[in-house]
Amino acid sequence: MRFRHNDSSVSGEAKKRPLRAERWLSRGGGFAAALVLWIGASLAVWPQQAPPQRPQPQPRGEEAGDVVALTAELVVLDVTVVDRRNHVVADLEKDRFLVYENGVRQEIAFFSREETPVSLGLVLDTSGSMRRKLTRVIAAAKSLMRQSHPEDEYFLVAFKGEAELLEDFTQDVALIHDALDNLIASGQTALLDAIYLSVEHAQKYGKHRRKAIVVITDGEERNSYYTREQVLERLRGSDVQVYTVGFTEGLGEAAIFRQTESRRLSGQEKKARKLLEDLARESGGRAFFPQSLDELDTIASTIARELRTQYAIGYYPSSPERDGSWRTVRVEVLSDKERGPLTARTRAGYYALKRGASPPTKSPSR
């Protein structure tokens, strides 16, 4: 399954290639890191197949300034640290962090807290149920881009009955703005398809090492080909962080009960929240559930700051075998006397795959 491709709004390079075909982008420039090698082999790569009538180019390489690695075996984690009030903490030193793989403490071999650019996907629900919210959602997406790193690149996906790539990766913010201004809400909600295909697209074609998608939705799933477990499994095989903004309040309730100050979550709302929370937690992102549209600007600012100020922490696994197993990862931060307990967020783990191998089709043992 692939994105629906909107030729009228997708720019230049995207029109010339099938969306799921791999592509190659040769890039020059100086090295920002002292030691530069690839890290991708330590994480899962899911090869895609181009249509037979076209030659199969290669995926885009990462920007030289983004690549943080010492050897191919290095595992690099993007880590966000927050205090008890969920405020980002960006001034910690290496000795404050503890990293564990499968419960075994690992020695930190690489540490950085510099702001780095992100390959970012904006994934917006344009189903009929989002009609009244869409104007404010568009404004929040634009606000997020204004506060991001100047070298960030973006792609835009809108989803209703199916997921549609409206604008492929670009650093030209005006192109994304134009596509946003033409969004129309209608139809059903293929939420899982949009997330699956967006994670796949960010992982495969993002030029920066750090990759993320921001999903804004009411959380209602009605029309997807992919299942919840397939989406989570795709996420485990990538290093894409997922930030979700869910307007789930009132799902499954009659309108007369939605405005009460004290209410019980419906089963449908609980299900939607759990999905968005699981996606965020699995990837090291974060889930937000605003009670009103007025919170969107603050949420956009929070996401932009988190993406800019993450720590990059790398280690060589004490168990170096590439046996295809799922390795759980945990990062802890020593408490701060002034700020109290601190919490670190990062991806839940990774597959220790051989080169060119695909992740298993069923879930890992959790």
Instruction: Report the chain (366 residues): mean pLDDT per 10 consecutive residues.
Output: 59 38 30 34 36 40 42 85 93 96 97 92 95 94 94 96 96 97 93 97 96 94 91 94 91 47 68 94 96 94 93 94 91 90 95 71 49
| pLDDT of 303 | 96
CA-nearest of 225, 137, 224, 120 to 184 is: 137
| pLDDT of 358 | 64
C-alpha–C-alpha distance, residues 216 and 245, integer Å:
5
Q: Which domain holds residue 303?
A: 118-308
| pLDDT of 18 | 34
Q: Is residue 233 part of a domain?
A: yes
Q: Is residue 149 part of a domain?
A: yes
| pLDDT of 353 | 80
| Sheet order of strands, 343-345 included | 108-112, 311-315, 75-82, 343-345
SS (H, E, C) the chain: CCCEECCCCCCHHHHCCCCCCCCCCCCCCCCCCCCCCCCHHHCCCCCCCCCCCCCCCCCCCCCCCCCCCCCCCCEEEEEEEECCCCCECCCCCHHHEEEEECCEEECEEEEECCCCCEEEEEEEECCHHHCCCHHHHHHHHHHHHHCCCCCCEEEEEEECCCEEEEEEEECCHHHHHHHHHCCCCCCCCCHHHHHHHHHHHHHHHCCCCEEEEEEEECCCCCCCCCCHHHHHHHHHCCCEEEEEEECCCCCCCCHHHCCCCCCCCCHHHHHHHHHHHHHHHHHCCEEECCCCHHHHHHHHHHHHHHHHCCEEEEECCCCCCCCCCEEEEEEEECCECCCECCEEECCCEEECCCCCCCCCCCCCCC
Q: Is residue 45 part of a domain?
A: no
- List the structure tokens of 344: 């670190």
- List the structure tokens of 90: 């960006």
Name 158's bridge partners. 124, 164
C-alpha–C-alpha distance, residues 314 and 36, integer Å:
13
Q: Is residue 364 part of a domain?
A: no
| pLDDT of 39 | 36
Position 353: which residue type? L
Axis-axis angle for helices 134-146, 296-308 (nearest 10): 30
Look-up: residue for tokens 């002034």? 338
* CATH code of the domain covering residue 124: 3.40.50.410
C-alpha–C-alpha distance, residues 205 and 60, integer Å:
6
Q: Is residue 273 part of a domain?
A: yes
- List the structure tokens of 279: 């996606």
| pLDDT of 249 | 79
Q: Is residue 24 part of a domain?
A: no
The number of folded domains in the chain is: 1
Q: Is residue 190 part of a domain?
A: yes
Q: Is residue 259 part of a domain?
A: yes
